[in-house]
Amino acid sequence: MRVPRFLQPVFEVRGMARWLLLSGLAVVVFFVVLAIFAPLIAPYGFDQVSADGVRFPKQASPSGEHLLGTTVQSTDVLSRVIWGSRTAIEVVVLAVVFSLAIGVPLGLISGYVGGRVDRALVLVMDALFAFPYLLLAIVIAFLLSSSVGQGVFTAAVAITVVYIPQYFRVVRNHVISVREEPYVEAARALGAPRRTVIRRYVFHNVIQSVPAIATLNAADAILTLAALGFLGYGIQPTEAAEWGYDLQRAIDDAGAGIWWTGLFPGLAIVLLVTGFTLVGEGINDVLNPLIRQRAVEPPVIPAQPDSELPPPGAEPPPRGATEARATEVHRE
C-alpha cells in the first residue's frame, strides 16, 4: 500500500515529535479499542442496574464485584466509562467526518471561485465563528432534539456546526495562496476543467494542513460533548453512556466523599483529550517544514593535517539523491 506523499514524513520522524506522536497514538488507540470492543470488555451494559435478578448496590465503593464502584442509580462505573468511550469516539468520528465533508469543500470553492460566492460564505462562516461555540452547539442540539431525538447523531451534528468554520477558514486561506501558483495556471493552460483543477491541483496541496487541525479539533470535540452532556443538552441517558452526564450526576456525590463516580469519567475525558492533543501536536511538528528543519545539528569538521589525506567520512555509501537535493535547496 502506498502512503500518501504528504504523510510520509510521519513515518520518518525522529526525536521529540516522534515521542509526542507515539504516546498520543497509544492513548487514542487504547480508547478506540475500548470503544469497538465495549460489549466484550464492559462487564455490564451502560444502563444495567441488576444482574441475575439482583439489583446492584447504590454508590458502592470499588470492590471485586464492581471494580470502580457503582453510581447513585446503581449502574457500574467501569461499564459506564467503557461504554462512554464508545459514545465519545462515535461522536468525535462523526463530527470530524461531517465537518471535514462540509468545511473543506466549502473552503475550496470559496477560495478558488472567489468573488461574491466567497464573500457570502466568509460572512456566514465568520458569523458562526463569532458565536460562542457552546451556545451554538446547545442551540443546534435543542433544534434537532424535537425532530431527531437526543442521540449520538444529534450531538455529532451540534459539534459539527461548531467546527466547520475552522476548516473552512484554514482551507480557504490556503487555497487563495495555492490558486496563484504557476502549476494551477499551467493546469488551466493544459485544458483542465475547473473541477479537475480544484480536485487534483488545489485540493492535494491544501489538504496537508487538515490532519493537524482535525486531531486538535477532535480533542476539543470531546470537551464540547462533555459540556453538552454536563449541561443536560447532550445525549439522553437512555440512549448511551456519556462522561459529561456522569460528571454532572457525580457532583452531589463529591460532597459526600464518594469520589469514584466523578473521578473515573473525568479521568477518561482528560486522557482522551490529551491523547488527541499529543497526536495533533506531533503531526503539526512533522508536517510543518519550518519546525522540521530546525532539528539538524551542525557537523563536526575534523582537523585536516594534510590535504593529501582522503577527507574523513569519505567511506560511507552514497546517500539517496533525494536527501542530497533536499539539503541543497536551502543552501543556494
Partner 1 sequence: MVADPTTDPLLAVRDLRTHYSVRGSFIDRLRGREAGAVAAVDGVSFDLRRGEVLGVVGESGSGKTTLGRTLLGLVPATGGSVHLRGREITGLPERELRPLRRRLQIVFQDPHASLNPAMTIGAAIADPLRFHGIAADAGDRKRRVAAALERVGLAPASQFADKYPTDLSGGQKQRAVLARAIVLGPEVLVADEPVSMLDMSVRAKILELMIALKEELDLTYLYITHDLATAKFFCDRIAIMYLGRIVEIGPASQIYDDPKHPYTASLLRAIPEPDPTRSVPRDLPRGEVPDAVSPPLGCRFHPRCPRAFEVCGWESRDLRTLLETRWTRMAEEEYERERELVGELDSLDEPAVEASLPAGPGHTDEEALGVLEAMRAEAPDDPFWKGVAELQPDGSGARVRFHEPLVPRDLEVDGARVECHLHDPEALAAARAAAASDGPAVVAEPT
Partner 2 sequence: MSEPGGSPPSEPGEPVTSGPGEPAEGGPGEPLLAVRGLRVWYGTGGDPVRAVDGVSFEIGAGETVGLVGESGCGKSTLGRGVLGLLPDNATAAGEVRYRGRDLVGLSRRELRDLRGPEIGLIFQEPMTRLDPLHTIADHFRETLRIHEPELGDEETRKRSLETLARMGIPPTRFRQYPHEFSGGMRQRIMIALALVLRPSLLIADEPTTALDVIVEAQILQILADLRENFDTGLLLITHNLGIVAEACDRVAVMYAGQIVEEGEARRVFSEPAHPYTRALLRSTISLRTTGLHYIAGAPPNLIDPPPACRFHPRCPDAMAVCRERDPIEVSLAADQRVSCWLHGPEDEIPPQGAEPLERTEIAIAEEA
Cell numbers standing for residue 210: 487538515
Name the DSSP letter for residue 4.
P
- In the block, cell 536551502 appears at 330
C-alpha to C-alpha distances, 126 to 122, 123, 163, 165, 275, nearest whole angstrom = 6, 5, 12, 7, 29
252 and 59 in contact (C-beta within 8 Å)? no
Stretch that binds partner 1, among 22-30, 50-58, 74-82, 182-190 (CB under 8 A): 182-190
Q: What phi, psi does 86 have (nearest 5°)?
A: -65, -45
d(CA 31, CA 17): 21
Segment interacting with partner 1 (CB under 8 A) among 79-87, 88-96, 117-125, 317-325: 317-325
Q: Is there binding between residue 196 and partner 1 (CB under 8 A)? A: yes
Q: Is residue 318 near partner 1 by the rule CB under 8 A?
A: no
Find the shortest distance in angstroms from Cβ 270 to partner 2. Answer: 35
What SS3 class is residue 188? helix
Per-residue contact string for residues 111-140; x = within reach of partner 1 by CB under 8 A = ------------------------------
Beta bridge partners of 54: 51
Q: Which does 304 bind (CB under 5 to 8 A by kind): partner 1, partner 2, none?
A: partner 2
181 binds partner 1 (CB under 8 A): yes
**CA neighbours closer than 13 Å in the CB half-sphere of residue 63:** 9
Binding site for partner 2 (CB under 8 A): 14, 293-301, 303-304, 307-308, 310-311, 313-314, 316, 318-319, 321, 323-324, 327-328, 330-332
Strand partners of residue 44: none
205 part of the interface to partner 1, by CB under 8 A: yes
The interface partner of residue 314, options being partner 2, partner 1, none and the CB cut-off 5 to 8 Å by kind, is: partner 2
Q: Is 199 in the site for partner 1 (CB under 8 A)?
A: no
Binding positions for partner 1, rule: CB under 8 A: 5-6, 181-183, 185-194, 196, 200-201, 204-205, 321-322, 325-326, 329
